[in-house]
Structure 1
């Protein structure tokens, strides 16, 4: 008879395998859901690119130079006017090419007529978009150009003369820019035609390969239309794994995301390790009980004590985590208060000026009233009101920055920059620094806490002011821009830049290059922690023309979500 504990090994193996499968399954589902959400954002953008020039061929078909060229194909002047018209419109519309074909598919004129690989004189009657337009429909097609070997999206419309179709006008659009935008994703993103042939994506090795074996009729169609001329379309060497798919366009295209399976495997391994750890604990307990059956009572007492210790340890860990979170929040608050302390002298000067003005205007108003000059007294009271409003704005801004409460919501990045610059206005004046702010980009709305974003901006601006102090013509600039799905704030200075030995430790806690007593080295570490908590990124580098530049990136939120 087998020993009982030997029977546990197969069971433990099954449990660990099941834990791995369960963890991988959950992670896979999460990756697919995330991919679906990403597709819901990407599909409208792709659809917009495809639809942007949908009406251009139809409008061009109404140009008088096109029917005139079709009526006089051997007239050099008519063809020259056609070429010039198409070239001018192509340059203004910023499309790949425009070209006119007669009923036989021969290209009479093209926007690239003066280029070595121009379309003039080429016959495209075999293309599906030409056949569709020749029958009175809008033609659409994606393929590799047989003249230029450059891929593009083709849209065609018939050109009528005296009510009859006499030719076809086509536009070629490049989708290369859209493909470059996908390169920022670590997950494979591809666009496949209705046959499953990948023709666009952020994995160049996958391009012009099919997701599976193609039937003979599909291969025959690709050959007859020369859709991927010069390319041998074969299935991918290996299965790319689970994918999320959404149909886009009017040609049955499939936009696909293949979630990174490494994250799925890593999650499954973590679940398996957790199960193995639990099983190991259970196995140790079982082994101890099996070896000490005669001391059951002592073992039970030991188990109770062990459970009590685990409970106490759990409580200690929970308390430690709570203390750590509290300490982190207090550290961020301390950073804000430290900034306020550093700005106190400048703010005192800012408040003393309106206070002195209020005192002077009040004395003058009393004198005017005594002299029976109420209009002059009213004017002085107006000046007192303006000075009071100035003091109120300064105090309100300081109170808002110093508050400890966190309110997560939509934050307009330009407003946060201007508020931060307002708090440092006196510091800039004191150091004679020119502060340039460019918030001309469209409103950039991010999700986060207004005060913490301002804390990061003030810390970066103060560092920039310190860097340019004592430099000739000190200058600090802040420029906002929209880059993809991020709102970006770049803070640049005309200082000496970041030494190479400092750059590697720039965001480490307690690392500082300032003299003793002028900083703890926590400002950039806290700022980086705040930005990461809002799913953003903070980086720094030296500029080619001299000086340092800090880059703050925060994810943008949709306009509807901001409401």
Structure 2
């Protein structure tokens, strides 16, 4: 080792030392220089990592703060929209009269109807009137099984605050219906005297649905830290921190969350940052999240927006790697310049080595360019194959839709044949009569007979025309289509079966025409399929049972809803879960392929709408929802 030799050698000995020993003596400063260069490179990489992570995190924080403001403003606008309703009730004379005379049943019925209409117009969940003892006198849901009329809600904090003259708002889970909502409560006064309290319950779950559909991680907690709105369903009705015994006792007394256990969120990490944010991890193996909060006064709610820090740390790692590469490049450049200062021979050798490295680099670039060209060509071929596959899929779907039409027409062939046989028989008889009348010179009677023949032929032409229109292939182009026309055309094809099966049919639709954005031929196919399924279900009822089929059309902002409801045996839980699954059918073997509802659901989805089954006390109810379309007149 060089160190012992340095300690014991004299100057004369050092001067006489051989060249190898001299080189060994100069290794220690070189080692020190390399250590310093390595330390500087590590420090440079760490600084790049820290700076990039800070900048990325700051951008996440700024974006999160902006999103928090948007969410808070949206919720405030939603809540402020209903703040006026309790004031309106204080101005209604029937409400005041009911509070002064709670035993007046006729007045209660009038107030119930008024609250029901007001709730429907305002879009609120429930409106109800409570007397000073906390008993509900009238409610907008008086028709429903879970009506609030007669309930005692004196335990609710919002009622107690309103009775003290402090209008308040309160979020909680309903003890009667089990549905969450936000409650507005305000005292009803007359001549300075409080008569009762007006309460309005609204649904703010729409905010949560928007979060779930997006990619944001958001949650809203109350003053006790209970999360009641969240983009992650698993976090809802959890707490940000364990609740104390007194808080749980208060929540049980007010029944704010009505028997929900309210466990704490599984926080595996919780670190405070200097800028007021926190880094948290919720659940085992969960990524670190940047948590930002915003208070919503005066409700004492707290919005929390969570940003995934994984991307910020990935950016920091990339920056550190780039810093290492840049530093390495600079270090190599320094070494190259230093090496260049050595003799001409060393420069020539370095030039040769550099040329060799350049040749290798060119070869690598050429190889990678060729590989990239092959990859590009492969991707182009794959795109073309996928495009052809998509075209084949569209053609197959159109053929499947057409096959579904033909299957429906095949099932209806017996009734259609019977429908045509009757007028054909009448035509033959009346033609024979016309010949006899002409032979006998009874021209007026013959003319009347021929007019009836013309009417029968026109009717048969209408039936076959509807069949031809229904059976033809659709071009799948979306255009404004008349809902009245589509329903009328479908009814023509099931009209005979309605008469034979003695089905009471009702149609509820406005007088003015309604237009939806769809293909009318395919819409008729869906309507005919739903009506045929309903008639099949009605056919399973016992003899003598009343058979009912109804079609109703309603317009809501931006969409049209068509309901097809029957009075049949209804849908089982298994059938409801597998309604739109291909080849699933509840009909006996040989009477259906199980493709009708699957094809219908795909058709409506292609229109940009939806087909779903609705819960019904009796029978089955299917809802078609389509986008409205305007027609220039």
Give 1:175 deviation, angstroms. Answer: 1.0
Equivalent in the alignment of 2:600: 527
**Preserved contact between residue 191 and residue 254 of structure 1 (Cα < 8 Å):** no
- Describe the SS at the equivalent of 1:405: coil
Aligned pair partner of 2:384 in 315, 319, 330? 315
Q: Per the alignment, do residues 155 and 361 of structure 1 end up closer, same or farther by CA in structure 2, a change over 3 Å counting?
A: farther
Equivalent in the alignment of 2:493: 423
> Which has more radius of gyration?
2
Equivalent in the alignment of 2:353: none
Provide the TM-score with structure 2 as the length reference.
0.49
**Preserved contact between residue 460 and residue 550 of structure 1 (Cα < 8 Å):** no
Equivalent in the alignment of 1:449: 519
**Preserved contact between residue 439 and residue 479 of structure 1 (Cα < 8 Å):** yes
- The question of 1:435 aligning with 2:503 is answered yes
Mark the runs of 5 or more structure 1 residues left unpaired by the alignment. Answer: 3-8, 67-80, 101-106, 132-138, 211-228, 273-288
Distance in 1 between the 2:587 and 2:422 partners? 31
Equivalent in the alignment of 1:84: 103
Distance in 1 between the 2:404 and 2:186 partners? 59
Equivalent in the alignment of 2:128: 96
Give 1:401 deviation, angstroms. Answer: 1.9
Equivalent in the alignment of 1:281: none
Distance in 2 between the 1:117 and 1:517 partners? 57
- Describe the SS at the equivalent of 1:96: strand
Provide the TM-score with structure 1 as the length reference.
0.54
**Preserved contact between residue 90 and residue 97 of structure 1 (Cα < 8 Å):** no
Higher relative contact order (CA 8 A, sep 6+): 1
Equivalent in the alignment of 2:449: 380
Equivalent in the alignment of 2:478: 408
Equivalent in the alignment of 2:610: 536
Equivalent in the alignment of 2:91: 58
Distance in 1 between the 2:369 and 2:98 partners? 99
Aligned pair partner of 1:335 in 369, 389, 404? 404
CA distances 1:432-465 after superposition (whole Å, capped 9, x unpaired): 5343434447799765433323323333444455
Distance in 2 between the 1:390 and 1:314 partners? 53
Mark the runs of 5 or more structure 2 residues left unpaired by the alignment. Answer: 1-33, 38-44, 113-126, 139-148, 241-252, 257-263, 268-277, 279-289, 316-357
- The question of 1:552 aligning with 2:571 is answered no
Distance in 2 between the 1:470 and 1:115 partners? 42
Give 1:315 deviation, angstroms. Answer: 1.6
Equivalent in the alignment of 1:489: 563
Give 1:352 deviation, angstroms. Answer: 3.4
Distance in 2 between the 1:255 and 1:561 partners? 47
1:106-117 equivalences under 5 Å are none
Give 1:323 deviation, angstroms. Answer: 1.4
Q: Per the alignment, do residues 518 and 438 of structure 1 end up closer, same or farther by CA in structure 2, a change over 3 Å counting?
A: closer
Equivalent in the alignment of 1:282: none
Distance in 1 between the 2:292 and 2:64 partners? 8
- The question of 1:175 aligning with 2:201 is answered yes
The alignment yields a C-alpha RMSD, in angstroms, of 6.9
CA distances 1:221-264 after superposition (whole Å, capped 9, x unpaired): xxxxxxxx9699xxx999998999xx9xxx999999999x8xx9
Distance in 1 between the 2:94 and 2:589 partners? 76
**Preserved contact between residue 57 and residue 169 of structure 1 (Cα < 8 Å):** no
Equivalent in the alignment of 2:145: none
- Describe the SS at the equivalent of 2:503: strand
Give 1:513 deviation, angstroms. Answer: 7.9
